Amino acid sequence: MPARLAVLISGNGSNLQAILDAIRMRVLDAEVVVVVSNRKAAYGLERAAKAGVPTRYHPLKPYRDAERSREEYDADLAQIVKEFSPDYVILVGWMHIFTNQFLRHFPYRVINLHPALPGKFPGAHAIEDAFAAFTRGEIKGTGVMVHLVPDEQVDRGPVLLTGDVPIYPTDTLETLRNRIQQTEHKVLVQAIARLIEGDE
Ligand code: GAR
């Protein structure tokens, strides 16, 4: 049985595309059962629709406006995702931090992709932070990681796979970003493939 993947995005969705392509090429024995975005304009929603994958839009703003808590937002998100009975929930650029109101529904089934190596540059600006550290002579390279999300910590958890990314003196932020994203697409697909194979 193909593994059922719920993919949570906030933006471009290039990593979602890498998953969809790997499924189409039969590199991954999986099915994306739903794509959820917290941003309506996320291009990833179009990628999902093109692939015939159901999409859901779940914005935080109405909760903030109604002074409803992040826990309530997360509990509702969990219900949306649970409807599709996923084996794994894959975070690719989902720019919200989770509370246990979401995580408790999917223990050891939430996987995050982050554009830095374990313990380095957590948060939403990892690529910018690595580039600045390189410019200051503090690092020679960076990388990407795929890890489990067991709790509420940001960009931390048991590491499933990493990939190294060199930085060159001729790099701009954009060339570095491109190299990191190319690596992410491969490492993410490989990590999911390993998880799925481990479950068989
Ligand atoms: C990816 O680079 C992912 O690693 C990053 O968001 C990007 C989404 O790109 N996630 C984080 O920074 C998590 N802290 P995409 O929408 O093109 O897949």
Which residue puts its alpha carbon closest to atom 2 of ligand 1? 115
| pLDDT 10s digits, 101-157 | 999 999 999 999 999 999 999 999 999 999 999 999 999 999 999 999 988 877 788
Whether 115 is in the pocket of ligand 1, judged by its Cβ within 6 Å, is: yes
- Taking CA atoms, 152 is separated from 82, 101, 130, 157, in Å, by 19, 10, 23, 10
Instruction: Out of 58, 96, 114, 147, pick the active-site residue.
Output: 114
Whether 92 is in the pocket of ligand 1, judged by its Cβ within 6 Å, is: yes
Whether residue 114 lies in the annotated active site: yes
Domain count, the chain: 1
Domain extent for 76: 3-199
Average pLDDT, integer, range 169-192: 98
CATH number (domain holding residue 45): 3.40.50.170
| pLDDT 10s digits, 57-71 | 999 999 999 999 999
Residue 150, token pair as written in the block: 């067991």
For residue 18, which atom of ligand 1 is closest to its CA?
Answer: 18
Contact 35, 10 (CB under 8 A): no
pLDDT (0 to 100) of residue 200: 62
| pLDDT 10s digits, 74-98 | 999 999 999 999 999 999 999 888 8
pLDDT (0 to 100) of residue 182: 98
Torsion, CA 124, CA 115, CA 16, CA 87, rounded to 10: -90
